[in-house]
Amino acid sequence: MSRISDIDPELTHRLTRRGMLGVAAGATAAALLGAAASPAGAAPATGTGASTAGRGRPVLPPGRLGIQLYSLRDKVSTLGFAPVFAELKKYGYDEVEFAGYTQGSAGPITLAQLKRLARNNGLTPIGSHVGYYADDPNAYTFAQNLTKVLDDAQALGLKHIGTASGPFRYGSTVDAWKRAAEEFNTYGAAARARGMKFYQHNHSDEFGFATDNPKVRLYDVLLAETDPDLVFLEMDIFWAYAGQFRFSKRADGTAAPFEPLDYVLRQPHRYPLFHVKDGVSDPSNQFGYRMTDVGDGDIDYQRFISAVTRLRGKRSAHHWQAEHDNPVESFAFARKSSAHLHSLREKC
pLDDT at 35 over 50: no
Give the pLDDT score at 311: 85
Counting residues of the chain whose pLDDT is more than 70, the rounded percentage is: 82
In order of 153, 164, 199, 303, the CA distances from 348 in angstroms are 41, 37, 34, 13
pLDDT at 62 over 70: yes
Would you kindly state where each structural domain of the chain is located, as residue ranges? 4-42+54-343
Give the pLDDT score at 11: 36
Give the mean pLDDT of 108-131: 98
Give the mean pLDDT of 115-129: 98
| Listed range (11-20, 106-115, 184-193, 194-203) with the worst mean pLDDT | 11-20
pLDDT at 157 over 80: yes
pLDDT at 214 over 70: yes
In order of 139, 295, 348, the CA distances from 93 in angstroms are 32, 16, 26
Average pLDDT of the chain, as a whole number: 87
Q: How many of the other CB atoms lie within 10 Å of CB of 285?
A: 20
pLDDT at 100 over 80: yes
pLDDT at 45 over 80: no
Give the mean pLDDT of 68-80: 98
pLDDT band at 316 (very low <50, low <70, confident <90, very high): low
Q: How many of the other CB atoms lie within 10 Å of CB of 117?
A: 19
Please state which CATH number belongs to domain 4-42+54-343: 3.20.20.150
**Per residue in 8-18, pLDDT tens?**
334 333 333 33
What's the CA gap between 296 and 47, in Å, rounded?
6
Give the mean pLDDT of 194-198: 98
Cβ-Cβ contacts under 8 Å for 322 (sequence gap 6 or more): 65, 66, 67, 68, 71, 93, 275, 276, 277, 294, 333, 334, 337, 338, 341
What's the CA gap between 99 and 335, in Å, rounded?
19
Contacts 24+ apart (CB under 8 A), 5-8: 7/166, 7/168, 7/171, 7/172, 7/205, 8/166, 8/168, 8/203, 8/205
The whole-model pTM stands at 0.86
pLDDT at 200 over 80: yes
Q: Is 62 helix (H, G, I), strand (E, B) or coil?
A: coil
**Residue 337: strand pairing partners:** none
Give the pLDDT score at 310: 87
Phi-psi bin for 271: left (phi > 0), alpha (psi -120 to 50), beta?
A: beta
pLDDT band at 208 (very low <50, low <70, confident <90, very high): very high
| Listed range (23-27, 38-42, 135-139, 242-246) with the worst mean pLDDT | 23-27
Counting residues of the chain whose pLDDT is more than 90, the rounded percentage is: 80
In order of 161, 272, 296, 324, 332, the CA distances from 328 in angstroms are 28, 29, 13, 9, 8
**Per residue in 257-295, pLDDT tens?**
999 999 999 999 999 999 999 999 999 999 999 999 999
pLDDT at 42 over 80: no
pLDDT band at 50 (very low <50, low <70, confident <90, very high): very low
What's the CA gap between 32 and 29, in Å, rounded?
5
pLDDT band at 236 (very low <50, low <70, confident <90, very high): very high
